[in-house]
Amino acid sequence: MKKLLLSSIIVLIGFTFIGRLSYLQLFRFSPDQTLEDPAIKAIYDYPERGYIYDRYGELMVGNQPAYDVMVIPREVKPLDTLEFCSLLGIDKASFIKKMKTARVYSPRLPSVLVPQLSKEDYARLQEKMRHFTGFYIQKRSLRYYTTNSAANVLGYISEVNETDLQNNPYYVAGELKGRTGIEKQYEEILRGRKGVMFIQKDRFNRDIGPYKDGKLDTLPEQGKELHITIDKKLQEYGERLMHGKRGGIVAIEPKSGEILAMISGPTYNPALLVGRQRSKNYSKLHYDTISKPTWDRSILAEPSPGSPFKTLNALVALQEGVLDPGTKFRCYNGFYVGNQKKGCHCGGGVRDMNSGIYQSCNAYFAGTFRKIYEKYPTTDEGMEVWEKHMKSFGLGGYLGTDIPTGRPGRIPGKAFYDKWYGDGRWGSSTIISNAIGQGEVAATPLQLANMTAAIANRGYFYTPHIIKNIGNTGSLDPKYTEPRQTTIAKEHFEPVIKGMSNVYKYGTARWVQVPGIEIAGKTGTVENFVRVNGERMQLTDHSVFVAFAPVENPKIALAVYIENGYYGSRYAGHIASLLIEKYVKGEITRKDLEKRMLEKTLEHEYVKPYSGEPFKINEYVW
Amino acid sequence: MSGRGLFGRIDWLSIFLYAFLVLIGWINIYSTTLSDPNTSIFDFSTLYGKQLFFIGLAFAGIIFVLFIETNFFERFASIFYIVSILLLLGLFVFGKTIAGATSWYDLGFFNLQPSELAKVTTALALAKYLSDIQTDIKNRKHQLYALIIILLPALLILPQPDPGSSLIYFSLFFVLFREGFPLYYLGILLITVALFATTLMFGTVWVAIGLGILTLLIFIFKRKSTKIPILPLIITFTISILFSLSVGFVYENVFEQRHRDRFALWLSLEKDEQKLEEIRKTIGYNTYQSEKAIESGGFFGKGFLEGTRTKGDFVPEQHTDYIFSSVGEEWGFMGTVTVILLFSFFFLRLIYIAERQKSDFSRMFGYGVISILLIHYFINIGMVIGLLPTIGVPLPFFSYGGSGLIFFTMLLFIFLKLDSNRLKDGI
């Protein structure tokens, strides 16, 4: 025992040491440590962020210089604080606070003392800078917008946070990163790749030459410019039309799937999220939880589609062969589900497909819908077929666009109803609302526009996208250039399109014709409810409209969704017709209508549920 | 065997291991202190040049030791001891203060550190006293004398202040344990340390609860035949609790803030993250930098002269106490494990040698040598890799410094010289 004591202690110590060393050098070791090594300083060379152009090559987003006042706390010599503060335009207390924050972050690394000085401040400060040791001015590049529209499409950039730094080793504190929209989706293309130069330092932070003779240094890679499919003029025009209204508009070029405009109301000027006022503005936008300006309604709102959905039910019925365009249903100013009567505004009478569409007859489509699932032995099977057809139009699922956010909408199938009502505890009466686009179906304006594009193309669509050209390569991800077929055969589209065209000629939108352009469209009026302080109340209907034009060789397909805009043609229809005219003709002939749409607001509708007083809905007030 | 000369009888394996360690040490000193690659390694204005000179001196010391009569050390051990005690006392009057510690005599060309010398002489004196035919290790009075031999220099060194060197002398207890000093003293020591640490970490209440559970377990799992001495158990329990209660007082009143900070860091006592970070950046700065340097070496290391943290001089005192961190950074896990294995093998070899001595004096001195070297190695590397609190002791044969290298060498070679004579005149 006593002879072995020391030997065992030696062995024990050996094992302990090797264990600890394994932990340090094998477990805790990370191969990529050049950046955290205090002995190596990385000096970055940032390439300019890529410009963004619209579909016609017009500049939308460029860059502007900005100047940050930086400080390296331990190099600071005693200074005339008062003079310095007045030069910087800050008070002494906040100067002291910022200096403390910088020192806590790191005494030897630079921190931003005052971010993003204006050019004037910079000019004033620059000549005095040499009196203040430890401070210097760093030039940075900020986004510059040539438009005050398309904030939701373009997105914004902001400084990387802790999470970004952990998730992506590329970023270094203080760098900028795309947060939403195109800036996020094409972040890597726009930002390029920063160059880096490694310098070996000693512990006094003095340079003692290049690290590894510069073998690891890299040159910056320029960010590429992006051409997007947005039509800047159309986008700006659409946003002006949305003044005072909430809702979303998406316009697509059917023959390519290119998104021409993606408008959300209310919106904000993208320049608000640049520069010194950024965080103030951001909080203001972000905490406006009632009008939600940062919530892109064109891709995130999921209202029931309303009557435009009828066109799809007609197509499915034709494809399934359960009726032909001449098949007639009688409308009793409504229709019966069991003993319950559901209303219809079409005026009543005998309806075939053509008049069923242009008069938007609920009874006709309830009948059509019944025929579809009655074709199959069980409702389950009927639903399954119906669901499959609907989903082939890009509904009830993510479209796979290059927009970094979105919603799937909903096409309720068997699984949905089983979950909703319990297995088998639902039947045709439960689901009949789907015939007219009410009830459980839901779609984003983007999905509605895409669906319209598929009708315009007579049976296929391209995945909607916003990228037109990266750099000037001209090559695009094949998923945006390959057509996606719907399950409906080409020949079934003509009768439906005829009905949609007659919507303008004789139907629900006959007063919004555009002289000289043949348009096919469909109105929608969507009942909706809101819950305020736990009380469910019905609000004025949403105004919905889908359209494409010209009917032969369509150039534009769009969906307009205006919250609480009442019936389909009232707001959505007018706005759609103006946008079509603007895009196809380039100018507006109907100046009165234009003026009215630009000026009218729906604010009086939006305050109703929050007024605390009883209110009427669906009022005819112009 | 006895017919062969000195070079035939000396243990070449130990010498080889020694030389290898010195070489690796010097290579790392070169790497840490190199600032201008164009200077010659024999440039004595540089630290690595000086260290090379010290290695030369140590070699001269080896020759000197090897050609001295073997009996010399045993015969004059007491006188050496008395001289070194006088030298330690003399420091209070004539000492030279370097870096806050009055531990040196200024000899003009050389600063002599008597505490280094005293390590050799105390080991010799202890061996001589214990090997005396009249000394009985089981005798309480003799145990006390042995303790005095060990603790006297330690007490004289403590107020220099140099607690690190002071601590080294306690390693000589291993000599006592080898010679039959009751092992339960070691047990008491370990329990004391454990009680101290656990009280700081969890508080007296939890320590009492823990001890209670432990006692209970003893009763539950005892064999039926064994009788538990109830009274001593109660006494031990009571003393432990009382000790635990006194810890708080000692911690707050005897230790200074800087000591408390070291404990706080080592045992993670400080719960406030911000304060802990503060301590880590001040008191723990050296350890933090050295851990980081070692960690950054990975498995293969960054290569000779490629250590960025070494080059940037980020680890303070890297050429002296923190030399091992440079091994970690430049030679990686392979390098550090090699050094650990070399040391372990070296120590085990020395134990083997000590055990084969016929002379009690030689064996005891051998154990003294091993204990002193081992505790330096343990404290130093333990501190550098962040297992132990910061205590400034050099790594034998590695760390920069003349006194250290020369006395460690003397210590080793006196023992090897004794060993080479084991068959000749071992009594």
d(CA A341, CA B286): 85
Separation of alpha carbons B90 and B73, rounded Å? 23
Q: Which fold has domain A232-610?
A: Beta-lactamase (3.40.710)
Among all chains, which residue has been given the structure tokens 């003009």? B108
Q: Which residue has the higher pLDDT, B276 or B52?
A: B52
Per-residue pLDDT, A338:
75
Nearest to A14 among B306, B311, B344 (CB): B344
What is the model's pLDDT at position A310?
A: 93
Please indicate whether, in this complex, the C-beta atoms of B294 and A25 are within 8 angstroms of each other.
yes
Q: Do A13 and B308 touch (CB under 8 A)?
A: no
**Residue B299, helix vs strand vs coil:** coil
Cβ A545 vs Cβ A560: under 8 Å: yes
H-state helical runs in B298-359: 308-311, 323-355
| Residues A303 and A442: beta-carbon distance below 8 Å | yes
Of A10-19, A28-37, A458-467, B94-103, least confident by mean pLDDT is: A28-37
What is the pLDDT averaged over residues A294-313?
92
Indicate yes or no: CB of A24 within 8 angstroms of CB of B387.
Answer: no
Model confidence at A1: pLDDT above 70: no
DSSP annotation string for B203-221: -HHHHHHHHHHHHHHHHHH
Rounded mean pLDDT, B116-135: 92
The C-alpha of A241 sits at a distance from chain B's nearest C-alpha, in angstroms, of 55
Closest Cα in chain B to A9: B374
Phi, psi of A332 (to 5 degrees): -95, 50
Convert the pLDDT of each residue in B29-75 to its tens digit. Answer: 999 888 766 777 777 788 899 999 999 999 999 999 998 888 888 89
Residue numbers in A near B298 (CB within 8 A): 25-26, 29, 31
CA distance B153 to B158: 9
- B209-264 confidence digits (pLDDT tens): 888 888 888 778 777 777 777 787 788 888 888 888 888 777 777 677 767 777 77
- Greater model confidence, A275 or B136: B136
Nearest to B347 among A10, A40, A200 (CB): A10
Residue A618: per-residue pLDDT: 82
Asked if the model's pLDDT at residue A225 lies above 50, the reply is: yes
DSSP alpha helices (H): ranges in A129-260? Answer: 151-154, 162-167, 181-185, 187-191, 232-241
Residue A173 near residue A165, CB atoms below 8 Å:
yes
Token pair 């890597």: residue: A188
Place of tokens 């494409």: A548
Report residue B269: phi and psi, to 5°. -75, -35
Q: Output the average pLDDT for chain B.
A: 86
Residues of B in Cβ contact (< 8 Å) with A14? 340-341, 343-344
Q: Say which residue the tokens 């039910």 belong to.
A: A313
All residues of chain B having their beta carbon less than 8 Å from the beta carbon of residue A7 are 348, 351
- With an 8 Å Cβ cutoff, are A21 and B378 in contact? no
Whether residue B427 has pLDDT greater than 60: no
CB pairs A-B closer than 8 Å: 108
Share of chain A above pLDDT 90, in %: 43
- Mean pLDDT to the nearest integer, A83-105: 85
How do the domains of chain B map onto residue ranges? 6-182+318-425
* Residue A593, CA distances (Å) to A246, A248, A565, A578, B236 in order: 19, 20, 16, 8, 100
Nearest to A24 among B347, B367, B385 (CB): B385
What are B284-290's contacts with CB under 8 Å, separation 24+? Answer: B284/B390, B285/B316, B286/B315, B286/B316, B286/B317, B286/B322, B286/B390, B287/B383, B287/B384, B287/B386, B287/B390, B289/B314, B289/B315, B289/B316, B289/B325, B290/B315, B290/B318, B290/B322, B290/B324, B290/B325, B290/B328, B290/B384, B290/B385, B290/B386
Contact A39 B385 (CB under 8 A): no
Number of Cβ within 10 Å of residue A230's Cβ equals 30
The verdict on a CB contact (< 8 Å) between A7 and B385 is: no
Most confident of A231-240, A522-531, A612-621: A231-240
3-state secondary structure of A538: strand
- In whole angstroms, how far apart are CA B32 and each of A183, B37, B308, B332, B335? 48, 12, 10, 15, 16
User: What confidence score (pLDDT) does residue A173 get?
Assistant: 73
Q: Which amino acid appears at position A479 of this protein? A: K
| A443-473 as b/e: b if 16+ CB within 10 A | bbbbbbbbbbbbbbbbbbbbbbbbbbbbeee
Do residues B301 and B315 touch, judged by C-beta distance below 8 A? no
Q: What gap in Å lies between CA B10 and CA A234, rounded to an integer?
A: 97
Residue-range domain boundaries for chain A: 41-58+146-226, 68-144, 232-610
Alpha-carbon span A512 to A581, nearest angstrom:
11
- The ipTM is 0.90
Q: What is the pLDDT of residues A346-379, one digit of tens each?
A: 888 899 999 999 998 999 999 999 888 888 888 8
pLDDT at site B343: 97
Q: Determine the pLDDT at residue B2.
A: 46
pLDDT band at A203; cut points 50, 70, 90? low
Closest listed residue to residue A580, CA positions, set A534, A531, A615, A546: A546
Cα of A174 to nearest chain B Cα, Å: 23
Indicate the residue of B178, B299, B314 with minimum beta-carbon distance to A38.
B314
Nearest to B398 by CA among B20, B45, B14: B20
SS3 B1: coil
Domains A41-58+146-226 and A232-610 share a fold: no
pLDDT surpassing 70 at residue A305: yes
For residue B162, the distance in angstroms to the closest alpha carbon of chain A comes to 24
Q: Which residues of B touch A33 (CB under 8 A)?
A: 296
Asked if A228 and A147 count as a contact pair (C-beta separation under 8 A), the reply is no
pTM greater than 0.80 (yes/no): no
Question: Which residue(s) pair with A514 in the sheet?
Answer: A517
pLDDT at A306 over 80: yes
Asked if A428 and A379 count as a contact pair (C-beta separation under 8 A), the reply is: yes
Q: What share of chain A is helix, strand, coil (3-state, %, to 5)?
A: 40, 20, 40
Choose the weakest-confidence range: A127-141, A228-242, A269-283: A127-141
Q: What single-letter DSSP state applies at residue A148?
A: S
pLDDT: is B1 or B254 the higher one?
B254
Contact A3 B355 (CB under 8 A): yes
Tell me whether residues A208 and B312 touch, CB distance under 8 A: yes
* Residue A314 CB burial class (10 angstroms; 0-12, 13-18, ≥19): buried
Lowest mean pLDDT, pick from A289-293, A320-324, B383-387: A289-293
User: 3-class DSSP state for residue A382?
Assistant: helix
- Identify the residue among B171, B344, B373, B374 best suited for mutation to test binding to A, counting A beta carbons within 10 A and taking the highest: B344
Q: How far apart are CA A414 and CA A290, in angstroms?
A: 35
Tokens linked to B100: 């806050």
Residue A589 CA, distance from chain mean position: 32
| CA distance, residue B180 to nearest chain A CA (Å) | 7
- Residue predicted with more confidence, B205 or A562: A562
| Residue type present at position A610 | Y
For residue A34, the model assigns a pLDDT of: 61
- Return d(Cα A180, Cα B28) in angstroms, integer: 53
Tally of CB atoms within 10 A around A484: 17
First to last CA, chain B: 17
The minimum CA-CA distance between B403 and chain A, rounded to whole Å, is: 25
pLDDT above 70 (res A138): yes
At position A431, the amino acid (one-letter code) is I
The answer to whether the CB of A452 falls within 8 A of the CB of A555 is no
Least CB–CB distance from A211: residue in B174, B308, B371: B308
Residue ranges of chain B whose CB lies within 8 Å of a chain A CB: 174, 177-180, 183, 291, 294-299, 306, 308-309, 311-314, 328, 332-333, 336-337, 340-341, 343-344, 347-348, 351, 355, 367, 370-371, 374, 377-378, 381-382, 385-387
In this structure, are residues A551 and A518 in contact, taking their beta carbons and an 8 Å threshold? yes
Cα–Cα distance for residue pair B287/A20, rounded to 1 Å: 14
Helix axes B230-253, B204-221, angle to 10 degrees: 160
**Contact B298/A29, CB-based, under 8 Å?**
yes
* Non-local CB neighbours of A473 within 8 Å, separated by 6+ positions: none
The reply to whether residue A39 touches residue B344, judged by beta carbons under 8 angstroms, is no
CATH topology of domain A41-58+146-226: Penicillin-binding protein 2a (Domain 2) (3.90.1310)
Q: Outline where A392-512 has alpha helix (H).
A: 414-421, 428-431, 445-456, 493-505
Round the CA-based radius of gyration of chain B to a whole number and report it.
23
Query: Phi-psi region for residue A197, left (φ > 0), alpha (ψ -120 to 50) or beta?
Result: beta
**By CB neighbour count within 10 A (0-12 exposed, 13-18 middle, 19+ buried), where does A428 fall?**
middle
Contact B370 A203 (CB under 8 A): no
Residue B167 has pLDDT above 80, yes or no: yes
